[in-house]
Chains A and B, each alone.
Chain A
Amino acid sequence: MAKYVIKRLILAFVTTFIILSISYVLCKLLPFDRPIGGDQQQIAYFDKQYSLGYVARFEVERDDYGPLLYKSPLERGRRNYYYQVPVLKQYTSWLKNICTKWDWGYSKSFQPNVSASVIIMSRVGYSIKLNFFSAILSVPLGILLGIWAALKKNTMTDHTISTLVMVFISVPNFVLISFMLRIFAYRLNWLPSTWPTDTASAGTKVLGYIIPVFCLSVGSICSYCRYVRAELCEILESDFLLLARTKGLTRKQAIVRHALKNAMVPIFPWILGEIIGLLSGSMILESLYGIPGIGKLFITVLNYKDFDILFVDMAILTTISTVSGVVLDLSYGFIDPRIRMGAKK
């Protein structure tokens, strides 16, 4: 088991590393946009890049180098010429910077000369908070609805729940939030139509969570419900449950002690993986509701063409998705003794 865990972790690390490397190189291959701001900011930015090894600096003009990025103004008869370093060299510097200094680069135009980690850290809180609330809401609700539908299989209740689940799972997130905004924010005026600012009153802040948390959890609630229902229905028809009934347990006892416990075995790891996956947030939701999380950051820096920050945001997405995959895989083995992960025949 331990061997398998280590193997799986190393594999995940290697996958992430490869993906990040490719993404980094591809990001760096994009056309270079000069940072915004006056000469002072430009010089500050390029000197920083030079010290990190992403840009070459010379005091004379060079023909034998890559494209000229910036020419500083003449100062005391001297000026600096900044050239682009070959992408693979930038890549090695980048690896070195991350390993030695945990330095993920600097913003160019979005918030000039602010480090990527500062920008990300100031935003990640909103996304995590939102997803935390959404998980708190969706896990119990989804499981309960699923259990309810399974126990009342092929009745009106089951059909209603299943239909609703089908409808809500099909409706895209941006459609849902549009309708929510239209009805509850603009028509009825009950809820704020955008994310309340940090200075808003506590009441408004709480109300501000309702639409995004609802929109974020609806999808999860539906998929939990659907999965739990399918899983539980299968178990309710299995032989061991019949045995449980024949040995004298009531239906309630049989369901609570045997069916539910066994149904949770595949469901729990899956939910765990889902929750971790949720951390990457919903970009469309965040941007439509104006939530300053990392999802909205992605769109903002894309508009600013601030590719260093964009890359870091993508790196987070990639890492989260790989981690959630690993957690899902491993937790199966931990929870269900029948599954021996990585076992040979």
Chain B
Amino acid sequence: MDELNNKIEFKSDDFVLVQQGTRITDKKLDTKPTTFAKDAFKRFCKNKSSVAGAIIIGVIMLLTFLVPWLSTANITKVSAGEAFLAPKLFEAGTGFWDGTRKKTRVIYDTENEVPALSDKYTKATIKNSLVKLKIDEEPTLVDVMNPYGHGGYVMFATDVYAPDSVLLASQPVVIDRSGNYRLKVEFGNDEGILESQLGEYSVVLFDQEGNKLYYIRNFSRDYSDLDVNLSNILDRAGVDSVNARICFELKGSENSLQYILVKSVEVSADEGVKNSEILGEISFNDANAMVGVSDNKSNSYWICSGRKGVHACEVYYCDYVIDTYMLVYGNADLVTYSATELNDWISKGWCSYDYKVGPESFVRLTDDCPIDEVDSQVVMKVTKKLSSISGRGWNYRKYGYNKMPRFLLGTTASGHDLFKKAFAGLRTSTILGIFAASICFSFGLVWGSISGYFGGTVDIAMERFCEILSGVPSLVVFTLAILHFGNTFGVFLMVICLTGWMGTAHRTRVQFYRFKGREYILASRTLGSSDMRLIFKHILPNSMGTIITGAVLMIPSTVFTEASLAYLNLGLQGKESFGVLMSSHQQYLPLYPNLVVFPAVIIALIEISFNLFGNGLRDAFNPSLKGSE
């Protein structure tokens, strides 16, 4: 209560007149003046997502114009050897974005100890390029001939559902009493085959005229192993020597195909018989090789009147990770190059070589030369001309690189750098978009201003025109225009502008309707402003934000339209086109997803960031938000 009693007293001396004696004039404002643009920018910056969008757009646009210009990669000439390289950012072996490609369940070539890849690459190159290899521990049994398979059974079968017998006959071989000729046959019984289909067969000796000489095993279903001495049989038959074919005869059936399975045939004799070579050819213990591989003679040493297949041959599968760059550009141990290739290098001045002197005469002159040294050469016997050389070196030189190339997004089917290709296409789309946006903006602005400012009959007439024009689905316009005038850049620009300006026109018209009745316009008009002044000084600046936003958003929509048209086979021709790139890569989605995924990510990023950017821009330019926090 003390405070209340303590009254504060003021005397007139306590007060001083602040401005006594000074002249009061207008003062400059202390706060900084702001313009519409500055204010809009300030408000735009407050919207974090829009700023992020703007930055992404900036980066993409920078890449769009810089990458095709700066990158030296060739994107016009087809280079099939470099096709489908994996994207590479880091060194191989890092496990992520490292230019390797993983494959599972690939047949393993047990002989060369590499996965069975295309013949384009030598085994040594494949071995060098492998990053990881995991071979199945257990072989897989397959019923078809496989060049990398082993073992199994020869599946000898009747050709059709018929009761006729079929024959599997060896080449004729001379058998005599003295040579101690033996025939060993291993049969298989029911592995994986219906038992009812295992047929009745005989093993029989035919003479060259086709007469049956002797039944070693008469028609039966006995699939136990056979081991007979043929010389003893001759002995019993009372013949000295015979030129006979060893035959398997299989009885047919009308109800089902009939099979027998033969695992191996071995015809042997004492040392020193003169036909031991052919005996070895007739013998086989690898059914897969016997049936399939053409350079294995035993195939042609058996004549078959039915069908001959492989059953349960062993194939090893493997999973591997391979460095695609090493595969294509890698260190190739002893690669054979033709004389034409060598002459080409010599004529380009890459190296010098004299085949008459031999491999020692090889001199590497420039870094472009694909090989470092020549190992051996082949000279044609008749013409005495060089046919080929074998050399060691880095393959990338063959493709004209000085060091191992690195493609950030991999390469396309034509061996082009996807990174450059994508951005070159994007550049076309963006330029198209910028042109289209500026044309549509200018025309739409004029149209919309006239329609909106003057209103009345003019407006109605112009609106009806727009209504009919916008009633035509844009796809129809595109299709007809492209069919009539071709799919060139100019036609695309024309067609996009043909309907594109209506968006700007509509927006402008709405803005004009919104502002032309305002008091400040009326005030200006009463002060004697002309229509021109009203439009350009008062209405347009206020409505510009919305209109510009709309025009800017035409750029991503053009990129999108161009890509969509390419998917409808109406893509832009004659220039690098993003849409054509994407749509033509769609077929590689299962095998080489990077070719689709990267462009897809780029276009999705563009659309998303432009959307964000557009939202921010719209808010920033909205004059009704001016000054509000």
Contacts and interface: CB of A to CB of B under 8 A. Distances in A.
A and B: partners? yes
Contacts of B583: 174
B602 to A, nearest CB: 10
B185 interface: no
Contacts of B596: 178, 182
Interface in B169-222: none
A298 B479 CA distance: 10
Interface stretch (A23-31, A241-249, A255-263): A23-31
B480 interface: yes
A299 B569 contact: yes
Nearest to B468: A15
B478 to A, nearest CB: 11
A321 to B, nearest CB: 5
Contacts of B568: 283-284, 287, 298-299, 302
B611 A166 contact: yes
Interface string B555-568: 00000100110011
Interface string B230-271: 000000000000000000000000000000000000000000
B589 to A, nearest CB: 6
B471 A171 contact: no
B471 A322 contact: yes
B102 to A, nearest CB: 12
Given A186-B589, A299-B568, A26 B608 contact: no
Given A166-B608, A172-B603, A318-B472, A303 B589 contact: no
A110 to B, nearest CB: 14
A170 B608 contact: yes
B11 interface: no
Q: Which of B476, B568, B586, B589 has the most CB of A within 10 A?
A: B476
Contact of A19 (B471, B560, B582): B471
Contacts of A179: 597, 600
B484 interface: yes
Contacts of A307: 483
A43 interface: no
Contact of B582 (A15, A29, A174): A174
Contacts of B484: 26, 29-30
B422 to A, nearest CB: 13
Q: How large is the interface on A (under 10, 10 to 19, 20 to 34, 35 or more residues)?
A: 35 or more
Contacts of A193: 590
A172 B593 contact: no
B417 to A, nearest CB: 21
B135 interface: no
Contact of A182 (B560, B597, B607, B612): B597
B604 A169 contact: no
Contacts, number: 100
**Prevailing SS type, chain A contact patch:** helix
A299 B604 CA distance: 24
Interface in A142-197: 166-167, 169-172, 174-175, 178-179, 181-182, 186, 193
A29 B468 CA distance: 22
B341 interface: no
Nearest to B585: A178
B136 interface: no
Interface string B472-490: 1101100110011000000
Contacts of A141: none
B367 interface: no
B227 interface: no
Interface string A290-314: 0000000011001100010010001
A314 B481 CA distance: 13
B588 to A, nearest CB: 11
A69 interface: no
Contacts of A178: 586, 589, 596-597, 600
A172 B597 contact: no
Contacts of B467: 15
B45 interface: no
Contacts of A302: 479, 568-570
Contacts of B480: 23, 26-27
Contacts of A27: 480
Contacts of B567: 174, 283-284, 287-288
B619 to A, nearest CB: 14
Given A172-B564, A310-B479, 8 more contacts: A19-B472, A167-B608, A169-B611, A182-B596, A284-B567, A288-B586, A317-B473, A322-B471
Shortest Cβ-Cβ A-B pairs, 10 listed: A170-B607, A175-B600, A170-B608, A284-B567, A171-B604, A314-B476, A15-B471, A26-B480, A170-B611, A186-B590
28 contacts: A19-B468, A19-B471, A22-B472, A23-B472, A23-B476, A26-B484, A27-B480, A29-B484, A170-B604, A170-B611, A172-B563, A172-B603, A172-B604, A174-B567, A178-B596, A181-B589, A186-B589, A280-B473, A283-B568, A284-B567, A284-B568, A288-B567, A288-B586, A302-B479, A302-B569, A307-B483, A314-B479, A321-B473
